[in-house]
Amino acid sequence: NAGVTQTPKFQVLKTGQSMTLQCAQDMNHEYMSWYRQDPGMGLRLIHYSVGAGITDQGEVPNGYNVSRSTTEDFPLRLLSAAPSQTSVYFCASSALGGGEDTQYFGPGTRLTVL
Protein backbone atom coordinates (compact mmCIF):
# COMPACT_ATOMS: atom_id res chain seq x y z
CA ASN A 1 0.00 0.00 0.00
CA ALA A 2 1.27 3.46 -0.88
CA GLY A 3 -1.14 5.04 1.61
CA VAL A 4 -2.04 8.65 0.83
CA THR A 5 -0.05 10.29 -1.95
CA GLN A 6 -0.02 13.94 -2.92
CA THR A 7 1.42 15.72 -5.94
CA PRO A 8 3.18 18.00 -6.42
CA LYS A 9 5.39 18.37 -3.34
CA PHE A 10 6.14 22.01 -4.09
CA GLN A 11 4.45 24.58 -6.33
CA VAL A 12 4.89 28.28 -7.00
CA LEU A 13 2.03 30.14 -8.66
CA LYS A 14 1.40 33.71 -9.72
CA THR A 15 -1.70 35.50 -8.48
CA GLY A 16 -4.68 34.58 -10.65
CA GLN A 17 -3.31 31.29 -11.92
CA SER A 18 -5.25 28.09 -11.43
CA MET A 19 -4.02 24.67 -10.49
CA THR A 20 -5.11 21.32 -9.09
CA LEU A 21 -3.52 19.60 -6.13
CA GLN A 22 -3.78 15.85 -6.50
CA CYS A 23 -4.54 13.38 -3.72
CA ALA A 24 -4.96 9.64 -4.00
CA GLN A 25 -5.32 6.78 -1.55
CA ASP A 26 -5.22 3.03 -2.09
CA MET A 27 -6.83 1.92 1.18
CA ASN A 28 -10.43 2.01 -0.09
CA HIS A 29 -11.28 4.70 2.45
CA GLU A 30 -14.65 6.39 2.17
CA TYR A 31 -13.66 9.59 3.96
CA MET A 32 -11.17 12.03 2.44
CA SER A 33 -10.39 15.59 3.40
CA TRP A 34 -8.16 18.56 2.66
CA TYR A 35 -6.52 20.71 5.31
CA ARG A 36 -4.30 23.73 5.13
CA GLN A 37 -1.59 24.36 7.68
CA ASP A 38 -0.50 27.88 8.50
CA PRO A 39 1.99 28.95 11.19
CA GLY A 40 0.38 29.33 14.60
CA MET A 41 -3.03 28.18 13.32
CA GLY A 42 -2.79 24.42 13.26
CA LEU A 43 -4.70 22.56 10.57
CA ARG A 44 -7.93 23.91 9.20
CA LEU A 45 -10.40 21.83 7.23
CA ILE A 46 -11.08 23.07 3.69
CA HIS A 47 -13.38 20.43 2.16
CA TYR A 48 -14.20 16.84 2.84
CA SER A 49 -15.96 13.91 1.24
CA VAL A 50 -17.71 10.89 2.74
CA GLY A 51 -17.78 8.94 -0.51
CA ALA A 52 -17.72 9.17 -4.28
CA GLY A 53 -20.03 11.92 -5.48
CA ILE A 54 -20.43 13.46 -2.01
CA THR A 55 -18.51 16.52 -0.86
CA ASP A 56 -19.06 19.22 1.72
CA GLN A 57 -17.41 22.38 2.96
CA GLY A 58 -15.15 22.59 5.94
CA GLU A 59 -14.03 25.56 7.95
CA VAL A 60 -12.23 27.53 5.19
CA PRO A 61 -13.72 26.55 1.79
CA ASN A 62 -13.59 29.90 -0.04
CA GLY A 63 -11.34 29.90 -3.11
CA TYR A 64 -11.23 26.10 -3.37
CA ASN A 65 -13.28 23.52 -5.25
CA VAL A 66 -13.32 19.75 -4.89
CA SER A 67 -14.91 16.78 -6.59
CA ARG A 68 -14.92 13.07 -5.82
CA SER A 69 -15.59 10.99 -8.91
CA THR A 70 -13.83 7.89 -7.57
CA THR A 71 -13.15 6.46 -4.13
CA GLU A 72 -9.40 6.77 -4.67
CA ASP A 73 -9.01 10.40 -5.81
CA PHE A 74 -9.90 13.72 -4.22
CA PRO A 75 -8.37 16.66 -6.11
CA LEU A 76 -8.37 20.20 -4.76
CA ARG A 77 -8.70 23.02 -7.28
CA LEU A 78 -7.61 26.59 -6.89
CA LEU A 79 -9.48 28.55 -9.56
CA SER A 80 -7.69 31.89 -9.15
CA ALA A 81 -4.78 31.71 -6.74
CA ALA A 82 -4.27 34.48 -4.19
CA PRO A 83 -1.29 35.17 -1.89
CA SER A 84 -3.53 34.31 1.09
CA GLN A 85 -3.57 30.73 -0.21
CA THR A 86 0.17 30.35 0.39
CA SER A 87 0.23 27.42 2.78
CA VAL A 88 1.02 23.75 3.21
CA TYR A 89 -1.85 21.54 2.10
CA PHE A 90 -2.50 18.10 3.52
CA CYS A 91 -4.86 15.45 2.26
CA ALA A 92 -6.12 12.80 4.68
CA SER A 93 -8.27 9.70 4.46
CA SER A 94 -9.94 7.31 6.85
CA ALA A 95 -12.55 4.62 6.95
CA LEU A 96 -15.99 5.77 7.99
CA GLY A 97 -16.91 4.48 11.38
CA GLY A 98 -15.94 4.86 14.98
CA GLY A 99 -13.35 7.20 16.40
CA GLU A 100 -10.77 4.46 16.43
CA ASP A 101 -10.39 4.86 12.70
CA THR A 102 -7.11 6.60 12.08
CA GLN A 103 -6.89 9.48 9.66
CA TYR A 104 -3.91 8.87 7.41
CA PHE A 105 -2.17 11.98 6.13
CA GLY A 106 -0.28 12.55 2.91
CA PRO A 107 3.17 14.18 2.93
CA GLY A 108 1.79 17.61 1.98
CA THR A 109 2.07 20.12 -0.86
CA ARG A 110 3.87 23.37 -0.13
CA LEU A 111 2.24 26.11 -2.20
CA THR A 112 3.55 29.64 -2.64
CA VAL A 113 1.45 32.26 -4.43
CA LEU A 114 3.35 35.34 -5.54
Residues at the interface with other proteins (CB under 8 A): 4, 31, 33, 35, 40-45, 48, 50, 58, 90, 92, 94, 96, 99-100, 102-103, 105-108
Torsion from C-alpha of 10, 106, 46, 17, nearest 10 degrees: 20
Query: Is 9 in contact with 90 (CB distance < 8 Å)?
Result: no
Residues 6+ apart with CB under 8 A from 15: 81, 82, 83, 113, 114
- What is the Cα–Cα distance from 32 to 49, expressed in whole angstroms? 5
- Measured from the CB atom, the residue of 57 and 80 that comes closer to other proteins is 57
Task: Give me the least distance between CB of 52 and other proteins, in Å please.
Answer: 15
- Measured from the CB atom, the residue of 71 and 103 that comes closer to other proteins is 103
- Measured from the CB atom, the residue of 66 and 106 that comes closer to other proteins is 106
Task: Give me the least distance between CB of 31 and other proteins, in Å please.
Answer: 5
